[in-house]
């Protein structure tokens, strides 16, 4: 998987050389340097805007990456890494005044057909109006494509020289001409060339090196990732020639002495012009066209028109987000600049930022930028103008115009930007008022819909679910729940939920808490008001949020006549609100009020208190009765100095039966389980349905833990036979946890026993621990197969001779001789055919059938290899052992019996266990120690993929480690890592086997690393016993080989 180069170091900018510009994000330069070296073929992934791209080439300067060349789709992108953390922006623009001149020149020579041909060749047919406008902007690549197309259609690659003279005639250039003439003389105008040039093209930086009457020197540099172009250079020459003409003097002669197109660092233009003789009374002759009188006024008229247009746009309605987008986008209409930055605080208190163009280069410097306040500044080398976005009533934030290094602003730009910012403030406030009005209207509509929905519900459960379902649309929360409070103890239990993933639904449904556990709940009861819980809350709040995998929870009490009946709960996984603002609070309290009315109107609370004592489906006592009887049993135990036992029983795979066979089958299963439990428990014990597919068995006057285990064994035995559900056989198993109350002695006096809830909770936790120990991998999705059917068919598959054992050779890495085989089980299903091990092994682990399968494989494989030994082919045997087998009582005794019955010597048997099965598992460690005492070898399989450490390996009675095939696949690239594993194992006197060997170079690398044995398709595929035996005998006859 490619490394990800992101961080907060140097910044990057991206530019398409294909269609469309992109802007980049931060890249940690130090990290990037480690990812790519000269000649290194590895790929990295960087973020470009909202896109992902893969780097295909890196540009290095003195060993440090300065740019990446990356591909997205059919286009390419250049990602530059600057030396000082500033952006070389790709979001630069060319004024459509330039493209307008080009198209007009083509029209003058070839007519509109010529214009159509140019647009078609430049692939911009749809932009005709934009390219002929006087106020638009296009990107630099589009301008260059238009230049190239015009040169081809005109048959004149020097037509750019004529564009300057055309600019003198075009009325759209009146503002630019007036701007230049306002300098007073050609030399003064040329000294200010950087200010004027930015209006035409912000991708190029023009500056005057020297200017005097009759002569000047101007340089131009196009910033990467854009590049210089010969036609563009001619266009610059043409414009420079006309500067003296604007002052009534002769056109300048321009010599282009150095050019970026020819790999010079910048273009150099030397200007000379003749100054006419004048009398003291002579007046400067301006160009024709009536611009002498209108010239000074034209720029201001243009700016006023821009501001009027922007003002109408900013207060023209739309959402607050839309207005903020328009402010950032339209800022260029007030002050043309390569970039802008908008940073405001919204009415909700949330900070909002927008970066446009070169403004993205100052992303990390916004606070510094706006801390300086309004005015003209230089930040990270960029000239910046900053103004306040504020009205007479409120300050909202700041707006900045950002130029490229070397560019400058006009003196009047600051005032123009400030005027625009006042319109922006008015737009923000108007949008805020409209937003609040819309939110209030939407809140009313949503609450009305909730009220209508609640009026149709007549049970606590349905009201709770309806309230929970209403919360996310009202609040934007990811998940929600509705909790009811017990009127006496104030214990909260979840009555309804919405949006929770399957892995958490049961845990949420079972969750309870009370004021003693939760300081926040205690505070809610004292002063009913909405609260927001996050990681800064109490220990209870932090643990609860972590357990339910949420970032923030809001809780609003449901109050009726001063009594807190329950809680409306909203949960955010990500993107949680920083505060419960007025809108959120109004909506949450509104739905809580509606919930209180629903509970009151339907008298559901009273019905809950008077509900029946028996579970309607199964006929066994319900939870209320259980808790009463458990309290009574604990009180009797205190008097009698006895103990109380509890079994917490969870039906395995109930949801799968319910989903695949229907609710009727699920109901039948629960009824069958209840009957089996009742038949297994003698009086005065109690069997109660606790919730869903969970049952609790209460056993008063229990002497010891063994008595609890005996009852659990009876229950499992009764459930061992299949039952019929929806006309089909289904096997049932249960996870059973146990807990025993504290013992009592005479000196305990009146000490109260632990409450019933605590005892049940301990039994439940014991059940969870049992599940974690005895279950293997999570069940995978079985494509095209009925998982429940496979579970049923797996039982007794061995007795039906459907399980077939194949064997894969293990060879001595040094000699190439086959020295062992690994037994691998295959399932030949009578109707589905060969079922892959990756499908049925996890199902066997989950259903409990793995013990039967494992016993069958061990017995068959030991018998087969023992027979080979008698026949003159002495090999060792490796067999996989599951976690559940290691936790089966007497497993080592079973292995001893199999060895005795088959005649296989113990030292020829190696049992393979995975790292995760044996790490920190004392029960498994004890069973492995007993197996090792028999002389059986112990192999740690898939070594390196789990949590192994040197100290853990020393604790294990292992004789061998097996290198996982994921490391073998990377050979010879991972040779040093594999050599380290081999050295570690050998230092502990462990044999090393590598699996997954498929290529000769992998085998060679293993031999060089000192690996003892190898296994994989290169050396032999798994095959039936007869095939493996014949191949092994043939290889012995021919002599060992490495294939």
Mean pLDDT along residues 972-989: 88
Please determine, for residue 994, whether its predicted confidence score (pLDDT) is greater than 60.
yes
Lowest mean pLDDT among 44-48, 99-103, 463-467, 567-571: 44-48
Nearest to 697 by CA among 749, 740, 655: 740
Other Cβ atoms closer than 10 A to 190: 28
Please determine, for residue 337, whether its predicted confidence score (pLDDT) is greater than 70.
yes
Please determine, for residue 59, whether its predicted confidence score (pLDDT) is greater than 60.
no
- pLDDT for the residue 923: 62
In whole angstroms, give the CA distance from residue 847 to residue 862: 25
User: And the tokens for 367?
Assistant: 């606070």
Answer yes or no: are the C-beta atoms of 975 and 1005 closer than 8 Å: yes
Lowest mean pLDDT among 30-39, 598-607, 699-708, 907-916: 30-39
Lowest mean pLDDT among 80-94, 273-287, 579-593: 80-94
For helices 582-601 and 460-475, what crossing angle results, to 10°?
Answer: 170
- pLDDT for the residue 116: 94
pLDDT, averaged across the chain: 78
Mean pLDDT along residues 402-426: 81
Is beta strand 492-498 parallel, antiparallel or unpaired with respect to 479-485?
antiparallel
User: And the tokens for 851?
Assistant: 């013990």
CA distances to 74, 141, 1016 from 944, in Å: 40, 52, 18
Which ranges constitute the DSSP H helices of 315-412?
Answer: 320-334, 366-371
Long-range contacts of 828-833 (CB under 8 A, 24+ apart): 828/802, 828/803, 828/804, 829/793, 829/802, 830/800, 830/802, 832/785
Mean pLDDT along residues 57-86: 39
Answer yes or no: are the C-beta atoms of 286 and 174 closer than 8 Å: no
At 54, give phi and psi (nearest 5°). -110, 130
Mean pLDDT along residues 157-185: 86
User: And the tokens for 866?
Assistant: 């023992």
- pLDDT for the residue 158: 94
- pLDDT for the residue 746: 35
- pLDDT for the residue 122: 93
CATH number of the domain located at residue range(s) 455-609 in this protein? 3.30.450.40
Which ranges constitute the DSSP H helices of 243-342?
Answer: 291-294, 298-314, 320-334
Identify the residue whose tokens are 């100095």: 641
CATH class label, 623-774: alpha beta
In whole angstroms, give the CA distance from residue 1032 to residue 1025: 11
CATH of 299-435, one of 3.30.450.40, 3.30.460.80, 3.30.70.100, 3.40.50.1220: 3.30.450.40
At 893, give phi and psi (nearest 5°). -65, -35
Answer yes or no: are the C-beta atoms of 282 and 244 closer than 8 Å: no
Domain positions in the chain are: 3-81, 94-278+287-296, 299-435, 455-609, 623-774, 788-1029
Please determine, for residue 19, whether its predicted confidence score (pLDDT) is greater than 70.
no
Convert the pLDDT of each residue in 772-804 to its tens digit. Answer: 565 443 334 444 456 677 888 888 888 888 999
> Pick the residue with more confidence: 643 or 363?
643
Convert the pLDDT of each residue in 299-332 to its tens digit. Answer: 444 555 555 555 555 555 566 777 777 777 777 7
- pLDDT for the residue 546: 92
Nearest to 907 by CA among 880, 870, 872, 933: 933
Please determine, for residue 662, whether its predicted confidence score (pLDDT) is greater than 50.
yes
Nearest to 885 by CA among 856, 861, 860, 850: 850
Beta bridge partners of 204: 222
User: And the tokens for 177?
Assistant: 């001409």
Banded model confidence at residue 145, pLDDT cuts 50, 70, 90? very high
User: And the tokens for 21?
Assistant: 């510009």
> Pick the residue with more confidence: 676 or 371?
676
User: And the tokens for 27?
Assistant: 């890249």
In whole angstroms, give the CA distance from residue 166 to residue 235: 11
Mean pLDDT along residues 684-704: 91
Please determine, for residue 1010, whether its predicted confidence score (pLDDT) is greater than 90.
yes
Mean pLDDT along residues 663-681: 91
Banded model confidence at residue 31, pLDDT cuts 50, 70, 90? very low
Convert the pLDDT of each residue in 456-483 to its tens digit. Answer: 666 778 888 888 888 888 888 999 999 9
Q: Please give the share of the chain, as a percent, with pLDDT higher than 90.
A: 30
User: For the chain, what's the residue count?
Assistant: 1043
- pLDDT for the residue 312: 55
**Quick one: residue 85, left, alpha or beta (phi over 0 = left, psi -120 to 50 = alpha)?**
left
Answer yes or no: are the C-beta atoms of 798 and 860 closer than 8 Å: no
Same fold, 299-435 and 455-609: yes
Convert the pLDDT of each residue in 215-246 to its tens digit. Answer: 999 999 988 888 899 999 999 999 999 999 98
Q: Please give the share of the chain, as a percent, with pLDDT higher than 70.
A: 77
In whole angstroms, give the CA distance from residue 197 to residue 218: 12
CATH fold of 94-278+287-296, please?
H-NOX domain (3.90.1520)
Answer yes or no: are the C-beta atoms of 320 and 346 closer than 8 Å: yes
Lowest mean pLDDT among 519-533, 594-608, 888-902: 594-608
Banded model confidence at residue 606, pLDDT cuts 50, 70, 90? low
Query: Which of 235-244, 384-393, 590-599, 747-756: highest mean pLDDT?
Result: 235-244
Convert the pLDDT of each residue in 873-902 to its tens digit. Answer: 899 999 999 877 887 778 899 999 999 999
Per CATH, the homologous superfamily of domain 788-1029 is: EAL domain (3.20.20.450)
Beta bridge partners of 479: 571
- pLDDT for the residue 1038: 64
Please determine, for residue 379, whether its predicted confidence score (pLDDT) is greater than 60.
yes
The model carries a pTM of 0.35
- pLDDT for the residue 54: 43
Long-range contacts of 23-30 (CB under 8 A, 24+ apart): 23/48, 23/49, 23/89, 23/90, 23/91, 23/360, 24/48, 24/49, 24/79, 25/49, 26/363, 26/364, 27/79, 27/81, 29/64, 29/65, 29/81
Please determine, for residue 162, whether its predicted confidence score (pLDDT) is greater than 90.
yes
Lowest mean pLDDT among 2-11, 239-248, 443-452, 531-540: 2-11
Burial class (CB in 10 A: 0-12, 13-18, 19+), 855: middle
């Amino acid at each position: 998987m490619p490394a990800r180069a992101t961080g907060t170091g140097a910044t990057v900018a991206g530019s398409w050389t294909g269609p469309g510009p992109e802007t980049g994000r931060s890249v940690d330069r130090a990290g990037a340097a480690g990812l790519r070296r000269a000649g290194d073929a590895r790929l990295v992934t960087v973020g470009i805007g909202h896109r992902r791209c893969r780097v295909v080439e890196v540009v290095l300067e003195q060993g440090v990456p300065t740019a990446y060349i990356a591909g997205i789709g059919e286009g390419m992108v250049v990602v530059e890494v600057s030396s000082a953390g500033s952006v070389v922006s790709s979001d630069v623009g060319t004024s459509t005044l330039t493209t307008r001149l080009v198209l007009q020149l083509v029209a003058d020579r070839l007519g509109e057909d010529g214009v159509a041909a140019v647009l078609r060749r430049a692939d911009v047919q749809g932009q005709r109006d934009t390219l002929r406008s006087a106020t638009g902007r296009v990107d630099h690549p589009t301008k260059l494509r238009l230049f190239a197309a015009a040169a081809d259609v005109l048959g004149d690659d020097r037509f750019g020289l004529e564009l300057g003279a055309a600019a003198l005639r075009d009325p759209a250039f009146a503002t630019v001409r007036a701007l230049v003439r306002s300098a007073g003389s050609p030399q003064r105008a040329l000294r200010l060339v950087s200010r004027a040039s930015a209006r035409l093209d912000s991708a190029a930086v023009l500056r005057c090196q020297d200017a005097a009457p009759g002569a000047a020197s101007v340089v131009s540099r196009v910033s990467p990732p854009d590049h210089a172009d010969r036609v563009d250079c001619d266009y610059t020459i043409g414009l420079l020639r006309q500067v003296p003409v604007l002052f009534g003097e002769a056109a300048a002669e321009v010599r282009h002495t150095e050019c970026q197109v020819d790999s010079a660092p910048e273009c150099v233009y030397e200007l000379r012009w003749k100054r006419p003789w004048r009398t003291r009374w002579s007046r400067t002759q301006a160009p024709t066209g009536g611009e002498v009188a209108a010239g000074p006024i034209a720029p201001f008229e243009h700016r006023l028109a821009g501001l009027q247009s922007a003002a109408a746009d900013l207060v023209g309605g739309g959402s607050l987000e839309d207005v903020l987008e328009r402010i950032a986008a339209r800022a260029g209409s007030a002050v043309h600049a390569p970039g802008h930055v908008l940073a405001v605080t919204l009415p909700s208190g949330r900070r909002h930022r927008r970066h446009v163009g070169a403004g993205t280069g100052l992303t990390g410097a916004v606070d510094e930028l706006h801390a300086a306040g309004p005015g003209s500044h230089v930040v990270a080398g960029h000239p910046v103008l900053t103004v306040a976005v504020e009205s007479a009533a409120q300050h909202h934030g700041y707006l900045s115009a950002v130029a490229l290094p070397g560019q400058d602003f006009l003196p009047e730009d600051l005032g123009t930007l400030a005027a625009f910012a006042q319109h922006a403030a008015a737009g923000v406030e108007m949008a805020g008022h409209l937003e609040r009005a819309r939110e209030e209207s939407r809140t009313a509509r949503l609450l009305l819909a909730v009220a209508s929905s609640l009026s149709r519900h007549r049970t606590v459960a349905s009201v709770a679910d309806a309230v929970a379902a209403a919360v996310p649309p009202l609040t934007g929360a990811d998940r929600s729940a509705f909790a009811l409070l017990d009127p006496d103890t104030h214990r909260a239990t979840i009555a309804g939920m919405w949006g929770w993933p399957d892995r958490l639904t049961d845990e949420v449904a079972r969750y309870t808490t009370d004021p003693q556990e939760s300081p926040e709940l205690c505070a809610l009861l004292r002063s009913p008001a909405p609260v927001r819980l996050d990681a800064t809350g109490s220990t209870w709040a932090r643990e609860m949020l972590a357990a339910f995998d949420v970032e923030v929870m809001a809780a609003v009490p449901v109050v009726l006549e001063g009594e807190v009946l329950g809680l409306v709960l909203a949960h955010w996984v990500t993107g949680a609100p920083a505060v419960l603002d007025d809108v959120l609070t109004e909506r949450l309290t509104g739905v809580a009020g509606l919930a209180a009315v629903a509970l009151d109107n339907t008298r559901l609370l009273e019905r809950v208190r008077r509900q029946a004592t028996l579970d309607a489906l199964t006929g066994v006592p319900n939870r209320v009765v259980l808790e009463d009887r458990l309290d009574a049993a604990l009180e009797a135990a205190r008097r009698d100095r006895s103990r109380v036992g509890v079994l917490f029983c969870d039906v395995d795979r109930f949801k799968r039966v319910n989903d695949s066979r229907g609710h009727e089958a699920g109901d039948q299963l629960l009824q069958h389980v209840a009957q089996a439990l009742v038949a297994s428990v003698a009086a005065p014990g109690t069997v109660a349905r606790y919730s869903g597919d969970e049952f609790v068995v209460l056993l008063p006057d229990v002497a010891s833990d063994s008595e609890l285990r005996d009852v659990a064994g009876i229950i499992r035995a009764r459930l061992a036979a299949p039952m019929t559900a929806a006309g089909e056989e289904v096997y049932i198993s249960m996870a059973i946890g146990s807990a025993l109350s504290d013992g009592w002695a005479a000196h305990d006096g009146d000490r109260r026993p632990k409450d019933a809830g605590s005892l049940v909770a301990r039994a439940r936790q014991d059940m969870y621990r049992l599940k974690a120990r005895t279950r293997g991998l999570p069940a995978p999705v079985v494509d095209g197969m009925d998982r429940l059917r496979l579970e049923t068919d797996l039982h007794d598959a061995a007795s039906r001779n459907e399980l077939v054992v194949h064997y894969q050779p293990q060879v001595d890495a040094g000699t190439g001789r086959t020295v062992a085989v690994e037994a691998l089980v295959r399932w030949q299903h009578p109707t589905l055919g060969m079922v892959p091990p990756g499908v049925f092994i996890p199902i066997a682990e989950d259903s409990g059938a793995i013990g039967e399968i494992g016993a069958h494989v061990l017995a068959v494989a030991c018998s087969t290899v023992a027979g080979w030994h008698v026949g003159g082919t002495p090999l060792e045997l490796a067999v996989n052992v599951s976690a559940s087998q290691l936790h089966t009582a007497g497993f080592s005794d079973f292995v001893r019996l199999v060895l005795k019955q088959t005649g296989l010597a113990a030292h020829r048997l190696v049992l393979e266990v995975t790292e995760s099965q044996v790490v920190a598992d004392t029960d498994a460690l004890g069973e492995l120690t007993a197996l090792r005492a028999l002389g059986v070898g112990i192999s740690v399989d898939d070594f390196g993929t789990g949590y192994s450490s040197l100290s853990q390996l020393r604790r294990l009675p292992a004789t061998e480690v097996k290198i996982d095939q994921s490391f073998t696949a990377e050979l010879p690239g991972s040779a040093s890592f594999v050599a380290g594993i081999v050295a570690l194992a050998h230092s502990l006197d462990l044999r090393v086997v590598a699996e997954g060997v498929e290529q000769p170079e992998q085998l060679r690398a293993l031999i060089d690393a000192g690996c003892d044995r190898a296994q994989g398709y290169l050396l032999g595929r798994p095959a039936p016993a007869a095939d493996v035996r014949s191949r092994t005998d043939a290889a012995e006859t021919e002599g060992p080989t490495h294939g």
